[in-house]
Amino acid sequence: MAASTTLVLFSGNTSTRIPFPKADSSSSIRVSLKTNACAVSDLGFITSQLSGLKISKVVSIQPARPIFTKFSPALQPVARRICPFTGKKANRANKVSFSNHKTKKLQFVNLQYKRVWWEAGKRFVKLRLSTKALKTIEKNGLDAVAKKAGIDLRKL
């Protein structure tokens, strides 16, 4: 229900009301002219000499509604270099030169993408795990290692 706003023209002691389409019903536009030279064209536009033109717009502010949307990031987060099964992550170490000058470096975990057969689900599961976790899975089984790490294989 968007009603048209009213454009009020004041010139001397007289005032003229002109309907102004496509605007909020809560806003009104008030134009006061100090000169008597004012004409309204067929399209609804106002022409004047622009001398002493004063335009003021009165807008009533409605209270803002809370927006409830689920936040979803634009980009997917980058996979961290941490093994989900063993919790292994990068180690801070020193790189020592021949002159015994030490600079900091990171020793990353040997992570590999591997398709592992999941017996309970009767399918392959693609995992990114460390070589140490791969040895543990071969020894103890995928279900036991995933249960100990708290990983739900049905969601993979």
Number of domains observed in the structure of the chain = 1
Closest CA to 44 of 77, 28, 20, 13: 20
> In which domain, by residue range, is 120 found?
91-155
Residue 67 lies in a domain: no
Mind listing the pLDDT tens digit for each residue in 58-82?
666 676 666 666 666 666 566 689 9
Cα 50 from chain centre: 44
Q: The domain that contains 136 carries what CATH number?
A: 2.30.170.40
Helix (H, G, I), strand (E, B) or coil at 107: strand
The pTM score is 0.47
Residue 62 lies in a domain: no
Mind listing the pLDDT tens digit for each residue in 114-135?
999 999 999 999 999 999 999 9
